[in-house]
Structure 1
Amino acid sequence: MILRLSRQNVRQTWPAYLGAFVALVFGVVLLGVTVALIGAVARSAEADDVTLAERTELNDLSSMFGTMSGISLFMAVFVVGSTFGFVVATRRRELGLARLIGATPRQVRRMILLESGVVAVAASVVGALASTALTPVALWAIRAYGLTDLHLDAPPAWLAWSIAVPVGVAVALMGAWRSSKRASRVPPAAALREANVERRRPGVVQLLVALVCAAAVVAVAVVARDMPPLFAMVVAIFLPELLVIGVMCVGTLLLPASARLLARPFVGAHVTARLARDQLTAASRTTAALAAPVVAISGIACSLIVTLSFVADWTTAQDRAQLEAPLVVATGGNAEVADSVAADPAVAVADERRRVGLTVRGEREDVDVVDLEDAGAARGLRAVRGSLDDLHGATIAVSETWTTDAGGDVGDTLPARVAGKEVRLRIAAVVPDAPGLYGEMLVPEDLVAPLVAETPPELVFVVPEDDENPEEVRAALVAGMPDGGRVLTAEEYLAENDAASRRANSFGLWILLGPAGLYAAIAMVNATLVGASQRRRQDAVIRLLGATPRQVRHAAMWEAAFIGGAGLVIGGLIAAFCAGVVRLAVDRDVPGAATTIPWPAVLGIGGTCLLLVVTAALAGARVHVVAGRNVPEPDPA
């Protein structure tokens, strides 16, 4: 009986569930396509003819797709939760009537969960079919945009369905869980009430979760100065999600209060601003639901954008601190370029960067082959622990980042396979990070001599003789440069690396945050329109009291601006805190590193959020102004 009632409710009031349906369809499509892409990548990576670089490329693609789905599903919970929160709020009298005629709290709760299940099943079916149709398009796009040159074959469709559909249903149930609990607490007397005062006080569980999140912030702030940059970056990526959850737990208190503070300068000059302030104060749940996606997308997106920008500043500063060579030659894979540089009498050191593929700890790795004397003179190679004098034979040097990731240190041994032989490589030294100069693993030439002969150098770091002018040496090298070679100054090389890193970061952010941004847009528009529908009679009464249509629209605009502004302020504080953690770690590791904040991207996120919220509010107000003309005046008796 409850299931039949849930189906009837969804069928009769389907516009209220439209936002959740669209969000779930999109989520299932995204997850289904992602599973298919990861399956295609895994099948291709197992092929025998795949090179080390291609396998690394495929692994990076899998990681990127997985992270994208995780962030998007996190946002989907907000959309579904806000939708069902509004559904419960608008149906209090109906739910009270159900309680009045004998429905138990458990039955009411089950009815709301089954309604979410009905929406989820319909959305999952549509999403699964759409994901199957879009998978070939996604595989084509990956090759068209140059993410890989390999041909990827889609796995069977049932694999994507078996994962995407259950996850979609689970997301719907998670989003509706809190709303179903609130619905079960609606008393029978609600059927007789004309109005209801919303409770702003968070529940016990919500307060406990908020306290845990606050404790995490305090703990991070205490250890921020001693945090390694890599760990700080990881914290800045995952901490915003935790902070958003904490803010939402106390959202009915925090968000209306923040919106009231923003409204204070305007309420004295504009009566519509005062009306908007009073409305957002009275409707605390609507305020929190509308601000939630703004807080989430601004906090998470801005944190990621600024963090990755600071990481690019950090890696460039590391390279600049290490690089001693004033000139860098890119060989383009032509060994003759390196030979011509080494043969120039004005060149004192021609330090060649070569990388070979070795199996270390069961994984194929790109390993740098170094000449210690040349690398020390041109790339500032040195040891922070251990000694590079011990780097010969079956030994390896690793970067500080590698020790943080893998947990190894000087004296440990790593199982490896070199030229078909199993060997154990002893870690002889730990070297500073300089990603643009060398990788995380370095081995001596005598260990991999047969592989070195087959591998042309990628770069040559050039140190001229003491009595030579670097610009004159550069001109001479350019004049005699074989095909494919390019001669760069040290600053030009660092700038190219930095630009390439930022382009890769920007592309990755579009992939990661694009779906999440669409979710946030759906949530903002959905919450604004449903919230406006709750105020239909209020707007009609205001019109009957003498307010003009223009004033009603202005009040809606002020309310949306205050709520959106409050969400942006709190999201900005989250992003600023996370960025500050990364910046402290970077300054401690490389003092004087540049600080680059991508203001166009940050301001673009804020402007887009405000535009969406205000536009949806104006659209809802315009509809209700027209509808309000036909609402009869209330009987004074």
Structure 2
Amino acid sequence: MSAAWAMVRHRFASFAGTFVAVFLGVAVVSGSATLYLSSQPQAPARYDQAPVLVTPPNAETGDTRDQQAWTAAEASALAARLGSLPGVMAAVPDPWFYVQRLEAGRATGDDQAALIDGHPWSAATLGAYRLTDGRAPKAKGEVVIGTDVSATATARGGTAPAAAAAGTTASVAAGSGPRGSAVTAGTTVEVLTATGPETWQVTGTVDGPGFYVTDGEAARRASGVRVIGLTVTGDVQKVVDAAAAEVGSSGVVRSGAERDALEPGSITRVRWIGAQLLIALVSLGAFATVFVVSSTCALSAAQRRRELGLLRAVGATPGQVRRMMYAETSLVALLAGLIGAPAGAAAAPLLGDAMVGIGLEPAGFTVTWQPTALIGSVLLGLFVALAGVTAATRRASRIPPLDALREAAADPRAMTPARWVMGPLCAIAGGALLAGMPTFPLEMRSSAGLGAAMFLLCAAALLSPVLIVPLVRTVARPWRGTATGMLVREGTLTGVRRVASTAAPVLATVGLTVLLAGTVATIEVAAGIDETAKYPAADVLVPDGTPGLSAAAVAAQGAEPALTTRLLITHGDTTTGGYATGRGDGLVLDQFTASELGSKAGDVVTVRFADGARAELPVDAVEEEASIPQDLVRRHDPDALTSMIVLKDTAVPTPGARSVPIRDFVMEEIEEEGRLVDLFLLALIGLTAGYTAIAVGNTLLMATTARRVEFQALRLAGAGTGQVLRVVSGEALLAVSVGAALGGLVAVISLAGVRAAVEDEIGRDIDLVIPWGSTAAVTALCAALALTAAAFPVLRAARGRS
């Protein structure tokens, strides 16, 4: 260990690339893990005064969308029994329903949060909400409104996470949307519900979010009851035990952290999207760290060949050489980790604010101290650094003692046996995936395309020493008559391993940039063509800042609503959930659901509706889409909405709806999803480019520094500093060009395979979209960093002589 410490202390420049790579990797992991661990589900604030919550039994499908409900009668009877238990002050059912405030005929607030914004007045006690003005609602058409709703309203397109965090449609992020008119007791308010626009009499305001109507009105509007809240006195655990005994198999009793499972779906979705980005950053950070450390250590071992040979000559065993290199890497990794982990944790709050601003975390999200993230990131940094240096230590331990007596500028052997074996195998695996992609299921094709590209990129990197020679000869041919061109060409061909080490990270970065951005753009084009083909060339009526179309909006067009509801269907011992549209005279199953249940036309299945009611229904048919009679949807899911309708005539203006050409609507939907995808791409490509910068810069810095004797010989032969700079700059640009060409070629081949598979699926020709802008930007960044890293040692040496 003492020898390793002395080596690190006196030759730290040789370990700079490893240090920076591990530092960045640990910082990324530490910051991402801190954000991830800080972003955990939380029970809605409206249940803050209910330490015990009772919910219906969990569905057996494993899908969180299949949350069961009690009917109003079942919930009322169960609440009465729970309310009589010792220690229970009140047992209050909370049947929520959809409602949004209208301002100048436009729906306000977040449409998804609005789905659970209506509540019975009795449920206000679960959050300890109190009247700030007026009285409680007593009749149909009366409402108590949360103070946030009564003061302000967010226009369409406002901040969704802010509204979701408050559990209301009218929460306002600072500076988002115009101010709405104040609503006080004695005034009226325009709202939009599942039936259509309504005018409600405001009887009071409350110091909490939401709309509160009479208990009977809430039960009539809601699609069943999914929560009964218990306010308690005394020992909460005793109440939990008594409630569990009373409920039995007809419900689930939740307390403590278990209550967090009731976090609204709109917030959970925001957290899930943010978590996917954080997981991707951690995974890519760990992979890139291994990649950079491996490349850096391999080049360092090659440059230290004589030094390691000398150690072998004086009696060092292969095991001692391996242990010394592991010790060196461990010291550098620990030092980098101990600095990087706090740096990442310190940057987490800044990233947290940014994630809230772009909708990847809910409003109110705060970053908390997470010591597990710091310790784990340091240990992970040490692990990936040791994983990266493994191959280099194995090769270094095999260096013969006689190598201490040799000195040659040419690489001893650019292609190892492992490269000869693994390179062709990766190429064959990638080609096989591309060839078989059209036969894969649709949901597997994008993963198969990415897997094929990864295999081909690995193949190109492994075989790059072989590919570099003909590429360099071809590219350098026009300049072979000049002295600089000849030196660049011969220096590159002599140092094939050096060029391959520089080209490999550029190859991976350019390849991933072209592949990821090109795949997304190509699939977006295909999705637009495919979705548009499903509908006639006409205008459609679609939601305008709402989660769906109300019954009144559909009726105003003279059309029949296509209400969408979610059903739980049981056949035999199998239960599955799925969406069904209200139409026809009987139950029609879609092909996937029928396959899951093992049912066919003529079978009788048990259907559980959104409100908790059950019915035995025969299966009339199995078709592409599921449907159920409209009257059953209206009866059991009064909150159901229509997603859109195709217009036959000019649209009649109605609140919460707008008319657009079908192609415009499809492209809007695709672009909305594309914004999140673009954000993911920006983060992933940015991180990849950062690691490439480290790898390229460190590789050229180490290689150029090690070539001092060669450059001194050039100066003795009459070359000036400018000529030496032109030589090293030419070599650096040549290495970047080779890497970019190989990476781009591999990505385009993979993209062509993805496009062919998508064309086969939709039966139409689509354009192959190549992201020239992002590719050029990444390549230019690599070139600029390569020039800087290559020129720095030359200029420093020139200043030293002067």
Indicate whether the TM-score tops 0.5. yes
Q: Distance in 2 between matches of 1:238 and 1:97?
A: 43
1:221 is displaced (CA, Å) by: 3.5
Q: How does 1:132-151 map to 2 (within 5 A)?
A: 132-151=345-364
1:28 aligns with 2:200: no
Q: Distance in 2 between matches of 1:172 and 1:281?
A: 30
State the AA in 2 paired with 1:4: S
1:103 aligns with 2:329: no
Is the alpha carbon distance of 1:601 and 1:540 closer, same or farther for their aligned partners in structure 2, counting shifts above 3 Å?
same
1:330 aligns with 2:542: yes
Is the alpha carbon distance of 1:234 and 1:168 closer, same or farther for their aligned partners in structure 2, counting shifts above 3 Å?
same
Q: Is the 8 A contact 2:274 2:355 kept in 1?
A: no
Is the alpha carbon distance of 1:93 and 1:444 closer, same or farther for their aligned partners in structure 2, counting shifts above 3 Å?
farther
1:553 aligns with 2:725: yes
Is the alpha carbon distance of 1:390 and 1:545 closer, same or farther for their aligned partners in structure 2, counting shifts above 3 Å?
farther
1:125 aligns with 2:123: no
Q: Is the 8 A contact 1:294 1:568 kept in 2?
A: yes
Is the alpha carbon distance of 1:337 and 1:308 closer, same or farther for their aligned partners in structure 2, counting shifts above 3 Å?
closer
1:454 aligns with 2:639: yes
State the AA in 2 paired with 1:107: Q
Q: Is the 8 A contact 1:391 1:429 kept in 2?
A: no
1:371 aligns with 2:582: yes
1:235 is displaced (CA, Å) by: 1.8
Query: Percent identity, aligned pairs only?
Result: 26
Q: How does 1:175-214 map to 2 (within 5 A)?
A: 175-195=388-408, 197-214=410-427
Q: Distance in 1 between matches of 2:737 and 2:443?
A: 32
State the AA in 1 paired with 2:304: R
SS of corresponding position for 1:272? helix
Q: Distance in 2 between matches of 1:414 and 1:597?
A: 51
Matched residue, 2:109: none
Residues 531-563 of structure 1 show CA distances to partners (whole Å, capped at 9, x for unaligned) of: 111211111111110112222111112111211
Matched residue, 2:675: 503
Residues 189-230 of structure 1 show CA distances to partners (whole Å, capped at 9, x for unaligned) of: 222333354233533333222232122123124323434443
Q: Distance in 2 between matches of 1:226 and 1:502?
A: 27
Match of 1:158 among 371, 378, 383: 371
Matched residue, 1:252: 465
Match of 2:504 among 258, 277, 292: 292
1:152 is displaced (CA, Å) by: 3.6
Match of 2:788 among 612, 615, 627: 615
Q: Is the 8 A contact 2:567 2:609 kept in 1?
A: no
Is the alpha carbon distance of 1:239 and 1:155 closer, same or farther for their aligned partners in structure 2, counting shifts above 3 Å?
farther
Is the alpha carbon distance of 1:536 and 1:427 closer, same or farther for their aligned partners in structure 2, counting shifts above 3 Å?
farther
Q: How does 1:618-629 map to 2 (within 5 A)?
A: 618-627=791-800, 629=801
Q: Distance in 1 between matches of 2:797 and 2:714?
A: 11
Is the alpha carbon distance of 1:217 and 1:423 closer, same or farther for their aligned partners in structure 2, counting shifts above 3 Å?
farther
Q: Is the 8 A contact 1:232 1:585 kept in 2?
A: yes
Match of 1:7 among 5, 8, 18: 5
Matched residue, 1:633: none
Q: How does 1:329-478 map to 2 (within 5 A)?
A: 329-332=541-544, 338-339=550-551, 341-344=553-556, 347=557, 349=559, 352=562, 354=564, 368-372=579-583, 391-392=587-588, 395=589, 398=592, 408=596, 411=599, 418-420=610-612, 429=622, 431=624, 449=634, 452-457=637-642, 459-464=643-648, 470=649, 473-474=650-651, 477=652
Residues 379-399 of structure 1 show CA distances to partners (whole Å, capped at 9, x for unaligned) of: xxxxxxxxxx9744xx55659
Q: Which moves more between the two structures, 152-161 or 585-594?
A: 152-161
Matched residue, 2:300: 87
Residues 465-497 of structure 1 show CA distances to partners (whole Å, capped at 9, x for unaligned) of: xxxxx5xx14xx3xx333x43221112212212
Matched residue, 2:687: 515
Q: Is the 8 A contact 2:541 2:657 kept in 1?
A: yes
Q: Distance in 2 between matches of 1:65 and 1:555?
A: 42
1:356 is displaced (CA, Å) by: 5.6
State the AA in 2 paired with 1:65: L
1:262 is displaced (CA, Å) by: 2.0
Matched residue, 2:265: 52
Higher RCO (CA-CA < 8 Å; seq separation 6+): 1
State the AA in 1 paired with 2:582: D
Q: Which moves more between the two structures, 147-156 or 227-236?
A: 147-156
Matched residue, 1:383: none
Task: Report how many aligned residue pairs link the two structures.
Answer: 578
TM-score after normalising by structure 2: 0.66
Q: Distance in 2 between matches of 1:614 and 1:130?
A: 29
Q: Is the 8 A contact 2:540 2:660 kept in 1?
A: yes
State the AA in 1 paired with 2:773: P
Q: Distance in 1 between matches of 2:776 and 2:307?
A: 43
1:411 is displaced (CA, Å) by: 3.7
Relative to its length, the structure with more helix (as a share) is 1
1:509 is displaced (CA, Å) by: 0.5
Is the alpha carbon distance of 1:82 and 1:124 closer, same or farther for their aligned partners in structure 2, counting shifts above 3 Å?
same
1:563 aligns with 2:735: yes
Is the alpha carbon distance of 1:447 and 1:237 closer, same or farther for their aligned partners in structure 2, counting shifts above 3 Å?
farther
Q: Distance in 1 between matches of 2:406 and 2:21?
A: 33
1:303 is displaced (CA, Å) by: 0.7
Q: Distance in 1 between matches of 2:546 and 2:737?
A: 56
SS of corresponding position for 2:411? coil
Q: Distance in 2 between matches of 1:6 and 1:124?
A: 18
Matched residue, 2:761: 589
Is the alpha carbon distance of 1:423 and 1:351 closer, same or farther for their aligned partners in structure 2, counting shifts above 3 Å?
closer
Is the alpha carbon distance of 1:199 and 1:92 closer, same or farther for their aligned partners in structure 2, counting shifts above 3 Å?
closer
Unaligned runs of 5+ in 2: 44-257, 571-575
Unaligned runs of 5+ in 1: 374-388, 433-440, 465-469, 631-637
Residues 45-94 of structure 1 show CA distances to partners (whole Å, capped at 9, x for unaligned) of: 87244222322332232222212221222221221122212322232222
Q: Distance in 1 between matches of 2:547 and 2:3?
A: 75
Is the alpha carbon distance of 1:348 and 1:481 closer, same or farther for their aligned partners in structure 2, counting shifts above 3 Å?
closer
Q: Distance in 2 between matches of 1:184 and 1:335?
A: 65
SS of corresponding position for 1:453? coil
Is the alpha carbon distance of 1:199 and 1:599 closer, same or farther for their aligned partners in structure 2, counting shifts above 3 Å?
same
Match of 1:578 among 747, 750, 762: 750
Is the alpha carbon distance of 1:209 and 1:544 closer, same or farther for their aligned partners in structure 2, counting shifts above 3 Å?
same
Q: Is the 8 A contact 2:301 2:392 kept in 1?
A: yes
TM-score after normalising by structure 1: 0.82
SS of corresponding position for 1:487? strand
